[in-house]
Every structure is written in structure tokens, then in C-alpha cells.
Amino acid sequence: MSQQLINRSTDLKQLRDEGYEIVTKSGYLIVDHVPYVNSNREIKYGKLISTLTINDDIVLKPDTHVIGFMGEYPCNKDGTIITAIQHANPNQSLFDGLIINFLFSNKPQNGYADYYQKVKRYAEIITDQAKSIDPKVTEKTFKVIMEKDDESVFNYTDTNSSRANIFQINAKFKGQRIGIIGLGGTGSYILDCVAKTQVEEILLFDGDVFLQHNAFRSPGGASQENLSQQHKKVDYLASIYSNMHKGIKAHAVYITEENIAMLVGLSYIFICVDNNAARGIIISQLQKLGITFIDAGLGVNIADNNLVGTLRVTVGTLTKNDHIPSRIGTVAIDDNEYASNIQIADLNALNALMAVIKWKKMIGFYQDLKGEYNSTYTINTGQLINEDFAI
């Protein structure tokens, strides 16, 4: 929970000051100890659960009038359900045993101006029936709530997950340590995606300097000042994405046989290098270590005054690697148009997204019905081919 968030948001502070048992966590506002009547005319206590719209650690106007409830369905004092707020019953698990059993809908003409109005209105509808049976029950307990340090990997709350109600699925990223070897165009876009997940650490490996041509292949817009300072790629990108994710660690080195031990203990490694010989060495060592890797590569050439080429993503694991020699080149290519200054950020981004989606399928974030270990996308035909399936 964030005490600072409550203190800086007048509506949340008003709820707390009036005695509501509120906590905020992972983009949700949770109101505990809400008395209600169940179908047996017994007084029970549930929780109101609302998504939070937050910007700069201050809550904004609620983005929806709908609110969640954990408990049995609230009833009138005679045991009949309160139909006026009936909406849906998703029984959706969130985190720490928190479940949205029901969704309620009570929409004012102009929506709710703030969370104080929203919580107060739903609490009144639900608790009035319990109070009619026992006037002593109350949702305003003034209970002192002990806070725990926020263990989030983010510097600010992931309200996107709460808005989409996918917090439990996002939890599959927790504890993972991800490596990205090569922070050029494709690697930087992979970082952009991975930094928005709950992985524990993201280790960056690249010995190159971030130069002007790199700015046209990477996400965002580098300033002239940053370019003139000639930062290492990993340092420049870490300085940006550390604004969001706490676990980014920059290593301004090339991965070789001598320092391969730096990769031991990583959960997954993305390989995004444009040197086939270096790629071959890295993959060989990772196979010996039994570390799962996702290799992203693209080849682009000029033909008839157009660019043509293929994007590829190949996965290697401890149990499935027999396809690697036929899919990934390990010999340097002299006539490589991609090694020049052709600006193709869109292909870098697409290649990165292919690799990230495959990783997310492997950890169970996305459903994977095929289990392909090699995918290629051909630019001029738009053909996507999946191959090398696990037996």
C-alpha cells in the first residue's frame, strides 16, 4: 500500500479520515470491513474493490462507475438480493487471496467525481441493510492499518494491469532474471517491452557506444546532448528505463567465452547481435550452461530499389536444440546491408515483438497451442512460417 498516495489524494484521505479501512495496492483501492446481509439474513463483512486511475502518485477521476465486491452477494434485510446494483459475477482472483466475486453497477448521471463519492455511495447501498438489522454495525472502524514496504519492481504503480484485471497473469513474470545481449535496434525494443513486466532483473550486455545512427533504430527520441556525450548503449538505455523499472543493470561489455559466467542464473536470454561469429560463440556456451535463449535476427538487402529480407526468431532450450545449426548462422557475412546505416526501426521493432511474444508464450502469459521453436517473417510476401515444433 502507498501511504503517500493516500496523503496526496484528497478523496482517499477523506475516506481514511472518516474511518474507512482502505488500502491501495497494485493499482487497486480496497475497502475492508464492509457490513452486508447475506441470503440467510446474517450480517457478514466483505470488501469493496475498485481500480485506481493514477498519475504522478495522485488519483484522478474514476475511469469507471463499476466496483468489485468480495463476499457473498449483498441482500436486503429480508434476504432478497439487492438487484439495483447487480452487474456480473466474475469470481476473479487478483492477488494475496483477493477475489472479485461480484461486480456492481450504480452510475450517477455524470459518473463519480472522485473515489470518495464512489466508495461512499456503494457502501451506503450495501451497509444500510445490515444497519437496519443491527444499528451498531459500521464500515467506519477507524482501524489502524499497518503498512508493508512496497515490493514492486516498478517505481510507480502498474495501473495498466489493474485496469485490464490481468494482475494474476502478470505475476508469472515475478522472480525472472532476463538477459539482453546486444542493445542495438532489436535489443532496445526488447528492453522497451520487458521493462514493462514484473521480472525481477533485466541485465543488459553491450560494449558499443550509442551513436547518431542508433537513435534512428531505437525507441524514443535521443537528444543531441545525449548523442554528443557518447554514452555506452547500455548506460544510455538503462538511464531511461530505470525511471520505470528498478531491476535494470547495465554491463558495458561484449559477451565472450571469458565472461560467459555473467549469464549464469538468468531465466531467459535474448540474443540480438549482428555478428554471426559472436552469435555462434554465445549460443554454444549457453547450450553448455543449459540456459534458454531466444535469438532474434534479420537480414535485409536492396533489390530493384526496394528493401527485401526476412525476420527470424529461434528458441533454444536444454531439451530442444537440434534445430539450431540449420536455423542460426555462425559465419560472418561480408555483404550485409543491415550492417550499414539503412534506417529500418520498424523491422527492429517487429523482430523484437516476435521475440518477446514467444518468451511470453513460453512462460504461460499467452496461450501457446503449437510450441514452435523457429519463426520467420518474409517482408515482401508477408508470409509468417512457424517450424521446429517440440515433440
Residues 95 and 196 in one domain: no
Q: Look at residue 168 and tell me if it is in a domain.
A: no
Q: How many CB atoms lie within 10 A of CB 310?
A: 19
Q: Look at residue 285 and tell me if it is in a domain.
A: yes
User: What is the structure's pLDDT at 1?
Assistant: 44
Residues 314 and 372 in one domain: yes
Q: Look at residue 309 and tell me if it is in a domain.
A: yes
Chosen domain end from 129, 161, 193: 161
pLDDT tens column, 115-134: 999 999 999 999 999 999 99
pLDDT tens column, 239-277: 999 999 999 999 999 999 999 999 999 999 999 998 888
Q: Is the pLDDT confidence value at 331 over 70?
A: no
Residues 298 and 360 in one domain: yes
Rounded to two decimals, what is the model's pTM?
Answer: 0.76
The phi and psi torsions of 97 (rounded to 5 degrees) equal 80, 5
Single out the residue of 377, 242, 246, 226 nearest to residue 312, CA to CA: 377
Q: Look at residue 39 and tell me if it is in a domain.
A: yes
Residues 203 and 116 in one domain: no
Q: Which ranges of the chain would DSSP assign to H, the alpha helix?
A: 3-8, 10-17, 115-133, 159-164, 167-170, 185-194, 212-215, 224-229, 233-241, 276-289, 324-327, 345-362
Q: How many CB atoms lie within 10 A of CB 219?
A: 17
Mean pLDDT, the chain, whole residue set: 91
Residues 190 and 233 in one domain: yes
Residues 103 and 241 in one domain: no
Q: Look at residue 169 and tell me if it is in a domain.
A: no
Q: 75: number of CA atoms within 13 Å, CB side?
A: 15
User: What is the structure's pLDDT at 333?
Assistant: 56
Chosen domain end from 106, 140, 161: 161
Residues 208 and 322 in one domain: yes
**Residue 164 neighbours by CB under 8 Å, 6+ apart:** none
pLDDT classification of 336: cutoffs 50, 70, 90: very low
Q: Look at residue 271 and tell me if it is in a domain.
A: yes
Strand partners, 299: 310
**Residue 185 neighbours by CB under 8 Å, 6+ apart:** 214, 217, 218, 344, 345, 347, 348, 349
Q: Look at residue 134 and tell me if it is in a domain.
A: yes
Find the mean pLDDT for residues 51-70: 91
pLDDT classification of 338: cutoffs 50, 70, 90: very low
Residues 156 and 185 in one domain: no
Strand partners, 245: 154
Single out the residue of 351, 198, 161 nearest to residue 273, CA to CA: 351
Q: Is the pLDDT confidence value at 70 over 70?
A: yes
Instruction: Print the domain residue range for 296.
Output: 174-389
Residues 109 and 47 in one domain: yes
Q: Dihedral sign for Cα 160, 165, 170, 174, please.
A: positive
| CATH code (residue 253) | 3.40.50.720
Residues 192 and 135 in one domain: no
Q: What angle do CA 191, 194, 200 make, to 5 degrees?
A: 115
Count of structural domains, the chain: 2
Residues 156 and 258 in one domain: no
Residues 264 and 149 in one domain: no
- CA–CA separation, 98 vs 28, rounded Å? 11
Chosen domain end from 161, 196, 226: 161
Q: Look at residue 81 and tell me if it is in a domain.
A: yes
